[in-house]
Amino acid sequence: MSTNLEEEADGTMMCCASCGTAQVDDVKLKTCTACKSVRYCGIKCQKEHRSQHKRACKKRAAELHDEILFKQPESSHRGDCPICCLPMSLDETKSTMMTCCSKKICDGCVHSYKMRIYQEKLERICPFCRHPAPKPEAKEELDRNLMKRVNANDPAAMAQMSFRRHEEGGYDDAFRYAKKAAELGHADAHFNLSVYIYEGRVVEKDGKKRVYHLEQAAIRGHATARYNLGCAEDENGRMDRAVKHWIIAAKLGHDDSLDNLNVCFRRGLVSKEDFAATLRAHQAAVEATKSPQREAAEEARKE
């Protein structure tokens, strides 16, 4: 039965949904960009069929969107440290961005490299690209290096520059850099834009645009963006969607999402099996970010 339905759907896709014209060598049908389920031989047929197709198109487009939105990412947007190849912690303070190459290095590798430089009295260079490293207090040189990466259309550098300008009060520049980095698909840039839109300093507050950028960041593995989406769904009374977001974020190692799921579990909104599976995945994600070098860096930071 299902095979017959699939064959019927395939046959429908090979004909114009409005006039029935079949696709041949001299007739190329164009797929509906929203639902991907029907084709048309031209704009005229698409407009004529719009009234019949609108409801089904909107429903299927929403289904396709949710399929992408609620897919569990393989890893967080932070990725792996390019030196030790271990997953990066979700805590931004436990890594350092190299302005010369825009690579983020985990604190464990940075600490180990600093110890080696000190013990062997080596020249300070970037542990990744080997570029001569400026001193931490040489802010102007650090900014010049970062701007070189920005001019090279490096989205990571643009997102970092956006963050810096925002911290300095340059909100217009912060928004401009974040927007350009987001156009290049950078998760942090999308998240930053959601924050800027929420603040309303440069552009008017717009709930739909904020959610759009949160979704784009979440799809790329941004756990905090996913957590914020869950909070937004909670405020709108759609707890089923909120729980889905928090489960995905918690499985990436996000602590606040796990705390919210714990509350939902006690209220009977999450099954015992789903909560247990999420706990195991959360623990595995957190454990994967640990190493002796990173523990040594944490101890050194406390001293």
Model confidence band, residue 15 (pLDDT cutoffs 50, 70, 90): confident
In this prediction, residues 72-82 reach a mean pLDDT of 95
Angle at which helix 187-199 crosses helix 155-168, to 10 degrees, equals 30
| 132, two tokens | 């001569």
- In the predicted model, is pLDDT for residue 3 greater than 90? no
- 106-146 tens-digit pLDDT: 999 999 999 999 898 888 899 999 988 877 777 788 889 99
Confidence (pLDDT) at 37: 85
Residue 13's pLDDT band (cuts 50, 70, 90)? low
Q: For 133-156, b where at least 16 C-beta lie within 10 A, e where not — what string?
A: bbeeeeeeebeebbeebbeeebbb
**Calpha distance 22→295 (Å, rounded):** 65
pTM (global) more than 0.85: yes
- Answer yes or no: is pLDDT of 282 > 90: yes
What share of the chain in percent tops pLDDT 90? 69
Q: Facing residues of 31 across strands?
A: 39
Confidence at 16, pLDDT banded by 50, 70, 90: confident
Q: Is the per-residue pLDDT at 17 higher than 90?
A: no
